[in-house]
Structure 1
């Protein structure tokens, strides 16, 4: 175990190791909470304990289990036990010290009153949630800089290949073009079917499908290559027909007036678009976050719906 690290608030940070319970943590009680912490493999999410020392200088007065996806801009409190306000304050101070954007708090045991007293606001409940979902019913967030962002509805994709379609649907719902009530599996699979390059969506095909579904929604594709994308991992004999479908998508885009901008969309351009209230759809590599090489995920940046593009890597700030 590495040495504890001092934070700006009087607290210590120690790694969270599956199957091991530090003696000071065990003395805080709430055995059922600690057992839940160990019931899930959290190794890919930088799990650590943020603890507040007790008055005796040896034990802990409070502790929080904290996680976060790698290369992202937040910390997440799974639970806090002991002097909960002190533990949460220590986590927030740690996030501020790292200049992070937000702290989230899973709603296992946090009440709305306790969360509000610590400066957190409720996250909107998911539009849908699978029956076997193992997470808490709700959660909370505290933004640390830049004001409070307008939260889009959260819809969890029901397949591993409909991320692009779901991202576009969520953007439309956030913009008010699509009602939350119609954000369901039928809408997910319908848009995916219109946009897919089998099995996932490619940027131009997704933009064409969005324009066809919502003719009044302006959409621009930023794609810094004229070659087919997202097909390199397929066998060579399967790349040809997918490339043909992408050429067809480009022809469709030209016919219905979907611009394809060949310039690389920089982070500054993304910030500017978000500042103008536009929606930016990004395809990000999952190698950096959950450490899944060869996988990608669609994410919505914010604002009014605008471009879909291929990105070689970005940080999930949700």
Structure 2
């Protein structure tokens, strides 16, 4: 066990790395004495290695008085409590102190075992349960909780998980309009998701201009602007020959549609400062649909749309409509997700030698 750190709550703690591939039998004896077998079994059921799993342990009684399994996506500014065992309030205080020491802006808590009362007593607010999705994959716990450690937090939108591997652009646009009050939450379902994807797709991905055009067609009263610092076709690096060319034809057609519909296509890069200014605008319900690579957060370089809808000191808060259950993620990881400014700036530059940024700014009114 590492040397405990004194914390403001006067609860000492130690951070103990989680051994890759460790199952319940490999957990420390100090943990096995305070955690139920079914909890340890769930902890070891998936390989959480990509999210740097660690135990935040509170010493006491000749061993550990409390412990929490903590994970987080790389490049982000949060910590997630999977479970807290033993003296749960002490474990929660220790994790919050650890997060503050690491200059993280948020701690979330999956509601596998914690009660709403215990979470509230530790300063955590309940998260809205996710909207019903169109996928049969397990979505995680029915409840989750959040505590902001920097700033005042942001208003919580609805969360919806995309039902395919390619409809993230459509889902982010729909979530933006739900948050703006243009779309009713209960109408966001698989039919709505795939219908908008069909209007926006470049087969199978949604490129920025096509997505902006689809949003304007669907909601003519919403202001839409596209930022893309290239005139060349995008998201086609993995294709060649005819497979690349016919998609390029569709992208040129989308630019012509944007011109006819009055959707501005700015041939420059939306800066991070401009992005923050857009979503921070007082009295407005503006959102940025941002194209990012999942290389940092998930370990594979795949283009993916996220919804930027708020800011806190040092981070932009996004909704990610996809999460990786194979790495132990649940909707709690993808909802109200703070991404560090520098990380978001880097992960939103896509391409090969020439890096470009694609963004769609939507003002729902």
Shift of residue 145, structure 1, vs aligned partner: 1.6
Q: Distance in 2 between matches of 1:81 and 1:122?
A: 19
**1:256-296 Cα distance to aligned partner (Å, 9 max, x none):** 00001122112111111111042011111111111012x12
Task: Show the counterpart of 2:278.
Answer: 273
Counterpart pick for 2:99 among 95, 102, 121: 95
Whole-Å separation in 2 of the counterparts to 1:54 and 1:230: 54
2:166 corresponds, among 144, 151, 161, to 161
In the alignment, structure 1 residue 259 sits paired with structure 2 residue 264? yes
Aligned mate of 1:231, from 232, 236, 260: 236
CA contact (8 A) 1:8 1:97 kept: no
Are residues 134 and 300 of structure 1, via their aligned partners in 2, closer, same or farther at CA, if it must alter by over 3 Å?
closer
- Contact 1:13 1:49 survives alignment (8 Å): yes
Structure 2 partner of 1:36:
42
Contact 2:235 2:303 in 1 (8 A): no
In structure 1, list runs of 5 or more residues that go unmatched: 304-309
How far has the Cα of 1:6 moved from its partner?
4.3
User: Is residue 23 of structure 1 aligned with residue 24 of structure 2?
Assistant: no
Residues in 1 aligned to 2:5 and 2:251: alpha-carbon distance in whole angstroms? 51
Q: Is the contact made by 1:164 and 1:206 (CA closer than 8 Å) also made in structure 2?
A: yes
Choose which of 126, 139, 145 in structure 1 pairs with 2:130.
126
Distance 1:243 1:206, change over 3 A: same
Aligned with 1:172 (options 167, 172, 177): 177
Q: What is the CA distance between 1:314 and its match in structure 2?
A: 4.5
Match of 1:205 in 2: 210
Aligned partner (choices 274, 295, 298) of residue 290 of structure 1: 298
Q: Which residue of 2 aligns with 1:313?
A: 347
**Using the alignment, how far apart are the partners of 1:292 and 1:134 within structure 2?**
21
- Alignment partner of 1:137 is 2:142: yes
Question: Scaled by the length of structure 2, what TM-score is found?
Answer: 0.80
More displaced 10-residue stretch of structure 1: 193-202 or 284-293? 284-293
In the alignment, is the contact (CA less than 8 A) between 1:285 and 1:314 conserved in 2?
yes
Does 2:48 align with 1:45?
A: no
Aligned counterparts of 1:213 and 1:134: Cα–Cα separation in 2: 29
Question: Relative to structure 1, is the Cα distance of residues 106 and 29 closer, same or farther in structure 2, using a 3 angstrom cutoff?
Answer: closer
What is the aligned residue count?
304
Tell me how far apart the structure 2 counterparts of residues 229 and 290 of structure 1 sit (CA, whole Å): 22
For structure 2, the residue ranges without an aligned partner over 5 or more in a row are 311-343, 350-365
Distance 1:196 1:166, change over 3 A: same
Larger relative contact order, structure 1 or 2 (CA cutoff 8 Å, min sep 6) = 2
Name 1:14's counterpart in structure 2. 16
| Structure 1 pair 223–5 and aligned structure 2 pair: CA distance change class (3 A) | farther
Residue 148 of structure 1: aligned partner: 153
User: Cα offset for 1:108?
Assistant: 0.2
- TM-score scaled to structure 1, two decimals? 0.91
Q: Please point out which of 254, 260, 277 is paired with 1:249.
A: 254
- Determine the C-alpha separation between the residues in 1 that align with 2:345 and 2:241: 23
Matched, 1:194 2:199: yes
The answer for the alignment partner of 1:217 in structure 2 is 222
Quote the residue 1:67 is aligned against: 71
Counterpart of 1:301 (choices 294, 300, 308) is 308
User: Aligned equivalents of 1:42 and 1:8: distance in 2?
Assistant: 28
- In 2 relative to 1, CA 128–8 (structure 1 residues): closer, same or farther, beyond 3 Å? farther
Aligned to 2:314: none
Distance 1:189 1:134 in 2: 20
Superposed CA deviations along residues 42-71 of structure 1, whole A, max 9, x for unmatched, are 111111100001143xx1110000010111
Residue 347 of structure 2 aligns to a residue in which SS? coil
RMSD between aligned alpha carbons? 1.8
Distance 1:24 1:39, change over 3 A: same
